[in-house]
Amino acid sequence: MPSKVPEGEQRGWIIPIGGAENKENDRHILERFVACSGGPDADIVVIPTASQLTETGPRYQKIFRSLGAREVSVMDFDTRRDCQEAGRLSRLEEATGIFFTGGNQLRLTTLLGGTPVAKLVRIRNAHGVTVGGTSAGASILSEHMIAFGDEGSSVISGSVRLAPGLGLTNRFIIDQHFRQRDRLGRLLTALAYNPFAVGIGLDEDTAAFIGPDETVEVEGSGGVTIVDAADVSFSSMDSVREGQPVCMLGLKLHVLVAGASFNLHTRLAEAGSLLPRKD
């Protein structure tokens, strides 16, 4: 469950990125992550555990340093025992921003799930520390995580498998590489299992900056698909066999781009800066 925010404090930013964010020219997403983590005072820990490529962590370390962060460390976890080391926990206590790279989200959850590190990340976010991730690192941020599923736009019983994520919030379910990999159907299927949550589908090079007031602000070159299942009046998920299509009535869908927003509490979308100017 998400950690409780102490009285008088605010939850930190939660920043899922859809993968393939621009790292060379227009690095606006990563620039804003640094800004939300403290700007010139940012102390960022990069966790590349989802990736088994040795260059992943150092690459983000170099990028965040070039964007003005004061301190950037890479902290990988190869075993669950690593997640109990006092020195690693102490370093996370110092961080103002924690960033999970892409790779395999099940590698992240099997190594970190239920460990002191996972608990500490939740606590630090509840105390105001920014936590973000890209691709697999985005999927694991919420309580309910899409582990894997089929591509396509249809809602098909059994076409998606859910697993527990880090649990920073239970407000939403993330899917990434959304439009590029045709993942609408698996996000809708996940919501058919749990209509309480809001579905957030992130295109590549696109991020949802979720602030302490639970407002989703969009950054990047693509779109964010918001699926709100709160008013679903009917679902046949409980009565169809695996592999069969599911009927869902009453879904609400928004497609947001940079400048638009969605409030997870009120469930209201706004065009924001995209509205025509009145001269």
Tell me the per-residue pLDDT of 198-253, one tens digit each, with 9 for 90 and over. Answer: 999 999 999 999 999 999 999 999 999 999 999 999 999 999 999 999 999 999 99
The DSSP code for 7 is T
The per-residue pLDDT for 104 is: 97
**144-149 and 252-256 strand pairing:** unpaired
Q: Which of 124, 96, 125 is nearest to 34 (CA)?
A: 96
Q: In what order do the strands lie in the sheet with 269-270?
A: 71-74, 43-47, 97-100, 130-134, 14-17, 206-210, 215-220, 261-263, 269-270
Phi, psi (degrees; rounded to nearest 5) at 58: -60, -30
Task: Name the pTM for this structure.
Answer: 0.96
Q: Which of 120, 121, 31 is nearest to 69 (CA)?
A: 31
Mean per-residue pLDDT, 157-166 = 96
Element (H, E) at 65: helix 56-66
The per-residue pLDDT for 165 is: 97
Structural domains present in the chain: 14-272 (3.40.50.880)
Which of the residues are catalytic?
A: 135, 177, 204
Q: Which residue has tokens 């006092």? A: 86
The per-residue pLDDT for 277 is: 59
Written as six digits, the tokens of 99 are 């960033």
63-67, 194-198, 233-237: the lowest-pLDDT one: 194-198
Please give the mean pLDDT across all residues of the chain: 96
39-51 pLDDT, tens digit each: 999 999 999 999 9
The per-residue pLDDT for 273 is: 80
The per-residue pLDDT for 276 is: 72
Number of Cβ within a 10 Å radius of residue 219 = 23
94-145 pLDDT, tens digit each: 999 999 999 999 999 999 999 999 999 999 999 999 999 999 999 999 999 9
Residue 279 above 60 pLDDT?
no
Provide DSSP, 70-135.
SEEEE---SSGGGGG-HHHHHHHHH-SEEEE-SS-HHHHHHHHTTSHHHHHHHHHHHTT-EEEEET
Residue 232 in contact with residue 251, Cβ under 8 Å? yes
CA distance 183 to 173: 13
Residue 180 above 60 pLDDT?
yes
Provide DSSP, 171-206.
SEEEE-STTTTT-HHHHHHHHHH-TTSEEEEE-TTE
